[in-house]
Amino acid sequence: MSEKAAPRPTPDTQPFFDAAARGELSLPKCRDCGELFFYPRSWCPRCSSADLEWTPCSGRARLHSYLINTRPAPGFEDETPYSIAVVELEEGPRMMTNIVGVPQTPEHLVLDMELEVVFDKHGEVAVPKFMPAGGAR
Amino acid sequence: MTNTIRNKTAIIGAAETQRLGTIPDQSAMQLHAEAGLAALRDAGLTVHDVDGVACAGESPVEVAEYLGITPQYLDGTHVGGSSFMLHVRHAAAAIAAGLCTTVLITHGESGRSRVGMQPWAPAPQSMRGQFEVPYGVMGPPTTFPIGLLRYMKDYGMTPEQLAMVPVVQRQWAGLNPRAKLRDPITVDDVLSSRMVAYPIHLLECCLVTDGGGAVVITSLDRANSLDLPHDPVVILGAGESSESAMVSMMADVTSSRAFRTAGERAFAEAGIKHSEVDHLMIYDAFAHVPIYGLEDLGFVGRGEAPAFIGDGHTAPGGSLPLNTNGGGLSYTHTGMYGMFAIQESVRQLRGQAPAQVPDANISVVLGNGGMFMSAGVLVLGTPAAA
């Protein structure tokens, strides 16, 4: 079986993936205007400040929207169909992810359900995914 | 608004490749060239009249060289399927500013046969490669509809209402002999077609075809001095914008900021009201895109597009004829469909469309690029509307 695509971090995103390797979801926060943002950039997208601070997030999120893919990408052969989702972190920013630890059906994937982050290794890189809060169903 | 391009330029030539669909014997570049020469013939011009070239996918350098053009203006803006709307806008501005006189905008794509095409593969160090591709995305069907369930929950749209989009567009396609799919379909047909990526069914996804198209832009003064075989199509207004290369980064997954921004600018520049629009084209890579487009352009309020379509307003005989060639869902979709949407607006304003809208004087065409990544809007009109 082929392997799942792995991100290749760049200097501006490396701390995000370093934190993920420690089991932590961390996002840049602007010290000037307070904006917490995703995806990671070296300047604040709201005020252009370079004075940023990597800030640990709670890992709690809600299911904002998703679709269920039926045609496997490389490495997803054994888990197709699978969800590709947008989750909204408790702190506000949204990100794409997979919802794991739950049957991949509309009945089990309910919008606004509460989620918590888990990390999955793609090659050498830890990638954040989300499962229903309180553990697998 | 100052520095407007309103009423200064016109589309004087427009053509598609002779064949659309499966064309295994032509490369993407050949499709550019065939369409470009056909558009020039349509305007009664030759390559020697052209001093500007614009295209996406292929380089304008290569298209100019292939056709034997010595350009003084090049536009290689490549922001996906809306690129051609941006090319028209940029050409209008360049001609109005005196940078060139006659711009040839070409499209050719071997979307189905993949002859002379590059494979789709975001680099793993790109932001998409880092933050979307690892989640098993496989191209448009696995990303474009990602906000749809949120739209359905927030606005109460039913699967049956979404299915009406391809049903109505097939009614238009049935009137167009060049449309690839012409047989009538029902809501049940749509909902019983294969689930490609829940909640999107096969019949809610666009075609994948080979083909090309091209337009020729010049000043309105020059258009009026030429002995054209048909009326010029006047560029009344235009707008462009972008949001994110990643659909998951949209500020609101139920509405496109790029559509709204480009649309507001185009309407303001043209100085028209929505009630003056006779004909509308909205890029329809998937069934939900015309729903977003109708709302983001301001033709209806938020959440109102499903009922508007369901009530027949966009269907043949309706108050706002939409995607009258059958659209990407039923007519053709090479990958960057925007050129074909422009072609249909030109046909309608010339009175030459197979499914002709009576008294079409103002047509609006909204192009989408990527997955709500970019947008281009053109407001086009007959000489009477200018």
pLDDT in tens, B140-188: 999 999 999 999 999 999 999 999 999 999 999 999 999 999 999 999 9
Q: Which residues from chain A sit within 8 angstroms of residue B246, using beta carbons?
A: 39, 96
Candidates B355, B14, B382, B20; CA nearest to B209 is B20
Place of tokens 């920013």: A93
Nearest to A65 among B127, B129, B253 (CB): B253
Cross-strand bridge partners of residue A65:
A86
d(CA B382, CA B266): 17
The whole-number pLDDT of residue B2 equals 58
DSSP B319: S
Quote ipTM for the complex: 0.96
Which run of H or of E encompasses B191?
helix B187-192
Candidates B227, B239, B294, B279; CA nearest to B263 is B239
Asked whether the predicted pLDDT for residue B122 surpasses 90, the reply is no
Average pLDDT over residues B34-39: 98
Asked whether the predicted pLDDT for residue A21 surpasses 90, the reply is yes
d(CA A26, CA A41): 13
Report the Cα B359 to chain-centroid distance in Å: 22
Task: Tell me what the pLDDT averaged over chain B comes to.
Answer: 96
Q: Which residues from chain A sit within 8 angstroms of residue B124, using beta carbons?
A: 5-8
pLDDT tens digits for range A58-68: 999 999 999 99
Q: Which segments of A7-135 are extended strands (E)?
A: 26-30, 52-56, 60-69, 82-89, 94-97, 114-122, 125-132
Q: Is B137 on the interface with A (CB under 8 A)?
A: yes
Candidates A54, A56, A58; CA nearest to A40 is A54
CB neighbours (10 Å) of residue B121?
11
The whole-number pLDDT of residue A136 equals 54
Interface of A with B (CB under 8 A): 4-10, 13, 39, 64-73, 75-76, 81-82, 84-86, 94-98, 106, 111, 122, 125, 127
CB neighbours (10 Å) of residue B366?
31
pLDDT tens digits for range B94-120: 999 999 999 999 999 999 999 988 777
pTM for this one?
A: 0.97
**Angle at which helices B288-296 and B148-155 cross, to 10°:** 60
d(CA B60, CA B52): 9
The whole-number pLDDT of residue A2 equals 85
Q: How confident is the model at residue B8 (pLDDT cuts 50, 70, 90)?
A: very high
Q: Quick check: A9 and A16 in contact, CB under 8 A?
A: yes
Residue of B nearest to A74 (CA): B136
Interface contact A96-B195, CB threshold 8 A: no
The whole-number pLDDT of residue B117 equals 82
CB neighbours (10 Å) of residue B229?
12
Average pLDDT over residues B227-254: 97
Asked whether the predicted pLDDT for residue B245 surpasses 90, the reply is yes
The whole-number pLDDT of residue B1 equals 58
Best mutation target, B248, B253, B257, to test chain A (most A CBs within 10 A): B248
d(CA A109, CA B114): 37
d(CA B361, CA B349): 6
B298-336: b (≥16 Cβ within 10 Å) or e? ebbeeeebbebbbeebbbeebebbbbbbbbbbbbbbbbb
d(CA A60, CA A131): 10
Q: How confident is the model at residue B205 (pLDDT cuts 50, 70, 90)?
A: very high
User: In this structure, what token pair is assigned to residue A50?
Assistant: 């370079």
Phi, psi at B50, each rounded to 5°: -95, 130
Q: How confident is the model at residue B299 (pLDDT cuts 50, 70, 90)?
A: very high
Interface contact B146-A75, CB threshold 8 A: no
Q: Quick check: B293 and B274 in contact, CB under 8 A?
A: no
Q: A45 by DSSP, 3-state: which?
A: coil
DSSP string spanning B261-306? HHHHHHHHHHT--GGG--EEEE--SBTHHHHHHHHHTTSS-TT-HH
What number of H helices and E strands is found in chain B? 13, 11
The whole-number pLDDT of residue B121 equals 79
User: In this structure, what token pair is assigned to residue A125?
Assistant: 């890189």
